[in-house]
Structure 1
Amino acid sequence: MRNVCVIGGSRYFGRHLVELLRVAGTHVTVVNRGSAPAPQGVHRLVADRGDERQLRAVLGSRTFDVVVDQVCYTPEQAAVARRVFAGRTGRYVMTSTVEVYDPATNPAPDGADCPLPVTEDVYDPVGRPAPGVPAGTDEATAYAEGKRQAESVLLTDPVFPAAVVRTAHVLGGGRADFTGRLAHYTDRISAGEPVLAHRRARPTTFIHHREIAEFLHWTAGASFTGPVNACAHGTLTVTELGDLVAERVGRPPHYIPVEDGATASPFSYDRAYPMDNGRATRLGFAFSRVTDWMPQAIDEALAARTTAVRDGGTR
């Protein structure tokens, strides 16, 4: 694996992935819109990855051992990648999401609950239609369905060996975590403000931001294909996460229960789809336990909050 292209890779765990590749001696090319400078020693191509003509133009005659696609959200983007990189790469890795399993956006045809924890075969994208996500679709459904259809485009009659990494909820890194989901808890519990939690909250799975970068690096150098789940061992419910935050803050959390179907805090779920990481483990990757690193991730979020307050601003 001497020559790797990363599509995206300009923030959060994408930057860690690029650095891991660079330190390993890999020649790295990043393709993005140029919103952030490339790290030293990394070649950058500026293009809209959804614009086929533009992407072909900046790539020129370049070929790669592996392409890692960090920002493929729609079947249209996947179709462009499929056409442009056919014959250019020996392997394609797409970063997907745990949300492909969400029964709220992808209910089972017979209404039955899927077995837990969720294994990769619960959602098989091969041969599934990929007509695009209708305009006006709510954000959560559009994201999950876009990823499902993108997987289908890449894995049905593939033009290159392809793997899709279904990533758990990524946490850690303090201010680098642009999602603000963990900060929701550290901010509110620190301030004594209530947290909305489903009365019967279900567990979910997480992964550390550096661990998912390591997993993608490992996947890029592997040879397996198809979907693979990436998550730390163990699960947490919203109240278990809140209790961990409360331990670090030193004040009790205050939960306001809401019923199934109601809007609640991030990671509060009224349906369960925690992932099983058995396939990746059998293939040779050693995952951490979520409780090993979550306290540090919370401390980083608290430190980011303190810095923001000291600087007189907000997140």
Structure 2
Amino acid sequence: MAKVLVIGGTRFFGKHLVEKLVQQGHDVTIATRGQHDNPFDERVHHTILDRTNSSELREAFEETVYDIVYDNICYTPKEAMELCAILNDHTTRLIFTSTMSVYEADGVAKREEDFNAMNYIYDLIPSQQHSYAEGKRQAEAVFEDYANFPVVAVRFPIVMGDDDYTSRLSYYVEHIEQGEAIEFVNLDAEMSFILADEAAEFLYWAGFANIEGPYNATANGKISMRTLIQTIEQVVGKKAIIVEGASPYSIPASWYMTNAKATEAGFTFTQLTDWLKPLIEKIAK
């Protein structure tokens, strides 16, 4: 049984991860802001804190040693630095939820070496707020420099699921159902995706596997926005009204990555085409 801390674990794939950890008999603590109910009741320890408040973070965890820490809500290099200062000598390994956004959308299949966090410049006191992508890049760089424990940076594409609180896929399903326009700049752009359950399975696996460093985690295959919209049209029985503009999946060029490194390390990914249409059908209902 491992002693595990999950920072952020009451929604979406973080919730699925905690459920998996609990089912496998691990001693789990979740740390959240308390804005959402604890769905696990007495099966986990629950600490309420502000992730961005370093003194709260230190007070809660500096005296506890964890075998594995999962950080699903680190978005800046400053947050990464503060976590290293607290967890150095207090954990065996960290699984950091990063993102495909560390890569540029340039039509080329991305491999882990296409973004190297080592020697990447970071700014702990930025003059303006980091973008999501830049915050994740710099956080990875800080963990490279300051963590004295193994870190796995899990780079996810957009995560899909019927319980996605961002409602990105639902946006398209609902707009097409209701005859409302949806926006794209390039319908032929292709993207990677992963299902929430699979994202949780990968995080769990990464916690116990003998791996370290960056790992792309995505379902096998990619899909063009044109094919995605056509699939939704088939499910809802209506034709999409498409205009030029910005929307959750509107990208100028193909943006996808290979999972070869993780596959070689022993994780078996699903096929995107096996679950995408059933997911759309579930959302449409």
When the two structures are superposed, what TM-score results if normalisation uses the length of structure 1?
0.85
Alignment of 1:222-261 (within 5 A): 222-256=209-243, 258=244
Matched residue pairs, number?
283
Q: Is the 8 A contact 1:215 1:230 kept in 2?
A: yes
> Secondary structure of 2:131's match?
helix
Q: CA deviation at 1:61?
A: 1.9
- What is the CA–CA distance in structure 2 between the aligned matches of 1:239 and 1:131, rounded to whole Å? 39
Query: Is 2:60 the partner of 1:58?
Result: yes
Match for residue 149 of structure 1?
Answer: 138
Partners of 1:83 and 1:65 lie apart in 2 by 17
Q: Flag the structure with higher strand content.
A: 2
Q: Write the distance in 1 (CA, Å) between the matches of 2:175 and 2:125.
A: 35
> How many percent of aligned residue pairs carry the same amino acid?
35
Q: Which residue of 1 aligns with 2:156?
A: 167
Deviation track 1:44-81 (CA, whole Å, cap 9, x = no partner) reads: 11112222221121225211100000000000100011
Task: Compute the displacement of 1:240 (Å).
Answer: 1.2
Q: CA deviation at 1:133?
A: 7.6
Matches of residues 58-97 of structure 1 in structure 2 within 5 Å?
A: 58-97=60-99
Q: CA RMSD in A?
A: 1.7
Partner of 1:313: none
- Supply the distance in 2 between the matched residues of 1:47 and 1:252 (Cα, whole angstroms): 46
* AA at the equivalent of 1:183: S
Q: Which residue of 1 aligns with 2:164?
A: 177
1:279 and 2:266 matched = no
The secondary structure found in structure 1 opposite 2:279 is helix
Contact 1:133 1:145 in 2 (8 A): no
Shift of 1:199: 4.0
Is the contact made by 2:153 and 2:213 (CA closer than 8 Å) also made in structure 1? yes
Whether the 8 Å contact between 1:133 and 1:142 is mirrored in structure 2 is no
Stretches of structure 2 that go unaligned for 5 or more consecutive residues are none
Query: What is the CA distance between 1:37 and its match in structure 2?
Result: 3.2
Q: How many Å separate the matches in 2 of 1:88 and 1:204?
A: 38
| C-alpha separation in 1, matches of 2:216 and 2:260 | 8
Q: Secondary structure at the match of 1:177?
A: coil
Counterpart-to-counterpart distance in 2, 1:136 and 1:89: 32
Residue type of the alignment partner of 2:63: S
Q: How does 1:1-315 map to 2 (within 5 A)?
A: 2-38=2-38, 39-40=40-41, 41-103=43-105, 116-132=108-124, 134=126, 136=128, 142-156=131-145, 158-173=147-162, 176-199=163-186, 201-256=188-243, 258=244, 263-303=245-285
How far apart, CA to CA, are the structure 2 residues paired with 1:122 and 1:147? 15
Given that residues 197 and 239 in structure 1 are in contact (C-alpha distance below 8 angstroms), is that contact kept between their aligned partners in structure 2?
no
Where structure 1 has 5 or more consecutive residues not aligned to the other structure, the ranges are 104-112, 304-315
AA partner of residue 147 (structure 1):
K
- The one-letter amino acid paired with 2:35 is S
Contact 1:133–1:146, Cα closer than 8 Å, also in 2: no
2:92 is paired with a residue whose SS is: coil
CA contact (8 A) 1:5 1:28 kept: yes
SS at structure 2 position matched to 1:90: strand
Shift of 1:178: 1.0
Could you tell me which amino acid in structure 1 is paired with residue 257 of structure 2?
M
Within 2, Cα distance between the matches of 1:91 and 1:243? 43
